[in-house]
Amino acid sequence: MRSERSLTQQTWSALRATLIGCGLAEPLLRRGLLGLEETRRRLALRHLPAGGHGLEIGALHCPLPLPSGARARYVDRHGAQELRQLRADAGASIVVPDLLADGFTLGCIANASQDFVVANHVLEHAVDALGTLEHWLRVLRPGGLLFVAVPIGERCFDRGRAVTPPQHFLDDRRLTAAGDSAAMRERNRTHVEEHLDIAAPALARERGASWTPLRDEAREREIARLLGADASQIHHHVFTPESFAALLGLLGPAARIERVACSSVEIVGIARKAA
């Protein structure tokens, strides 16, 4: 019996590796078949403070397991009913948000008020990734912990897209701080066009749906939608382990990187706010 179980595990492991190698990590992720919860759990139990109080942004149906006595309030821009419509694959397991707020800025959260901030598969959706990290650091107490996971670009539907270089994050931060919305819109158009040309067709294939490329006015309307209120629906940035570590490094002396760890499909970065 034990040998049969071991053989089944080996077969599944090999099949899963093959599917990931073919760029099919996303459907496995959505069905909870990547073992990410266990990977994240080990890191959370090792690094997050027992008894601490913090926030998790965009938990959807996979909230981070927390150490004993730790409590998280869940933040999302959408209510539970809307989330269930947007993510029908998650069904009834969607976490009900405690706070309806912009998770990129956390404008309703007081400075230095949280022991930890968790955001898994959120940062790649942010227009200004470095600025978003700075907002998350802002709400942490000195010594507080930031726990952030992003997908590896080559292991998801972003396969084939350009990896975002460190200078791009710096330029986004500068333009956002200057309020130059026109320049940011033009930069983001490149991200949207990559999404339509590479990521959207890959997503359709994963879901077994047909994909017809948008042309002319229909394409321009979709670009305008994804540059407007629906901008957070796409991945603006694409990561490798090295590029994600470089982004965390741009926080400078404001935070100390404690760990950058990889699973088969994602990178987890753990940083501690300077005391």
Domain residue extents for the chain: 2-156+237-273, 166-233
**Percent of the chain scoring above 70 in pLDDT:** 84
Smallest CA-to-CA distance from 40 within 26, 59, 15, 19 is with: 59
Residue 61's pLDDT band (cuts 50, 70, 90): confident
Is residue 20 over pLDDT 50? no
Among 89-98, 220-229, 257-266, the minimum mean pLDDT is found in 89-98
pTM, 2 dp: 0.85
- Considering the segment(s) 2-156+237-273 as one domain, its CATH architecture is 3-Layer(aba) Sandwich (3.40)
Q: How many CB atoms lie within 10 A of CB 231?
A: 17
Is residue 93 over pLDDT 90? no
Question: Given this model, what pLDDT does residue 22 score?
Answer: 58
Is residue 5 over pLDDT 50? yes
